[in-house]
Amino acid sequence: MLHAFTFAQGRVRYSNRFLDSNAYRAARARGAPGASVFAVDPGLSLFSRLLMGLLPFQLDNTNISIAQVAGRFLALTETPLAIEFDPETLRTIGAFRFRDRLHGHLTTAHPLYDAATGVSYTYLTRFGLPSRYQIMTFGARRRMLGSLPVTAPGYMHSFAMTERYLVLSEFPFLLSMRDILSTKVPLIGCFRWRPERATRFLVLDKRTGELVRTYEADPCFGFHHVNAYETGEGLTLDLIVYPDPSVIDQLYLDTLAQRPRLPSGELRRYVLPQRGRSARYAVVSPVGLELPQIDERQRSRRHRYVYGVGVSQRGAFFDQIVRVDTEQRAVAIWSEAGCYPGEPIFVPDPGACAEGEGLLLTIVLDGRCGTSFLLALDAATLEEVGRARVAHHIPFGLHGLYV
Ligand code: CO
């Protein structure tokens, strides 16, 4: 379901509408949800799994994120399908047709937009012998930049971009071709934790797609890159990291509904040095966080502040908004009893030029009354600026967008 908050003349308007996807229609017909690609069993046979790239029916539940591409609004997931919608009415326009012949099986719901050049980037993993990481521009007509053969592709939820490079972080959570052929588990269940392998950072030239350098680091797992930038020493890469992929087990719907216990993601700052092939890191936040956001004006440049949701010491699910000052290693926290916030989105003050001057917007479930509200916080202090209550609850989502 799409949700929109609109601001005008000092008032906030809320609207919502289901995306009219095949997955939605199938769920309506069945009377229950079920078709998803992440951690709900899609009940796919071997054959349908192999045909996934060809027959995307029911795998178009594009519920992970929203992107604005060339003035059009797309809802995205990790299958290479996008659904276009009208941002005013939230009406579904339809499956977005890419005017190219590129194809693959697994992509990211987090394409990156380079404001300096107006180009967006993404990747599309193609399963096969060998499998390939295909790096490409993102838009109506995608352009292939590079294609790296890989024996066992990794599960990569997002990536990073500096001024000149793209960085793929390949955690040792690798696709097992045998599982994809023989089991009937959701796609995420076909990846295997291989801690004997290193985490690899693949640095690619943004213009040519060429692999410039590969770094290795200790095994770990993560979903979200915060940001990356170039320095005199090499590349700096901020990531939210877990010791292993067991966080995925906590994301299964049954577990979330019955006994949620989300682990805390660690904010790590990796340095990929100009000399050598090994990456080292420092932990730059004293508390854990997820769904990280920055002031987008700092994208691919040195950033100081990171915002996200966190799990408090007593908590079992995201119950606080966290702001990290990575220079001072200082943290500010917003929380309220019985309240569960989602991803905080940074909105810059239109008159401001300094990083972090603006608001954070987040949708909060108020467990005390079972309804949700939009919360606006001063991004510098996490003090409340205002809230707009909705008459009902808004189901937890993942990623949003301010336009
Ligand atoms: Co994400």
Residues 260 and 357 in one domain: no
In contact, 120 and 137? CB cutoff 8 Å: yes
The whole-number mean pLDDT for each consecutive block of 10 residues of the chain, a chain of 403 residues, reads 95 96 85 56 46 50 90 92 95 93 92 95 91 95 96 95 98 85 69 96 96 98 98 97 93 82 94 96 96 97 98 92 96 97 97 94 97 98 97 94 94
pLDDT at 286: 94
pLDDT at 181: 65
Residues 103 and 79 in one domain: no
What span, in angstroms and rounded, lies between the C-alpha atoms of 285 and 328?
9
Show which of 227, 255, 284 is a domain's final residue.
284
Q: What is the DSSP string of 30-94?
A: HTS----SSSS-----HHHHHTTTT--TT-----SEEEEETTEEEEE-SSS-EEEE-TTT--EEE
What b/e string do you get for 290-300 counting C-beta neighbours within 10 Å, with b at 16 or more? bbbbbbebbbb
Residues 144 and 239 in one domain: yes
What span, in angstroms and rounded, lies between the C-alpha atoms of 375 and 307?
14
Residues 256 and 116 in one domain: yes
Q: How many domains does the chain have?
A: 3
pLDDT at 37: 44
pLDDT at 185: 65
Write out the residue range of the structural domain in which residue 87 sits: 1-94
Residues 323 and 208 in one domain: no
Residue 169 Cα to ligand 1 midpoint, Å, equals 14
Residue 8 Cα to ligand 1 midpoint, Å, equals 29
Residue 305 Cα to ligand 1 midpoint, Å, equals 19
Residues 123 and 187 in one domain: yes
Residues 239 and 262 in one domain: yes
Residue 329 Cα to ligand 1 midpoint, Å, equals 24
Residues 300 and 332 in one domain: yes
Residue 64 Cα to ligand 1 midpoint, Å, equals 7
Residue 34 Cα to ligand 1 midpoint, Å, equals 20
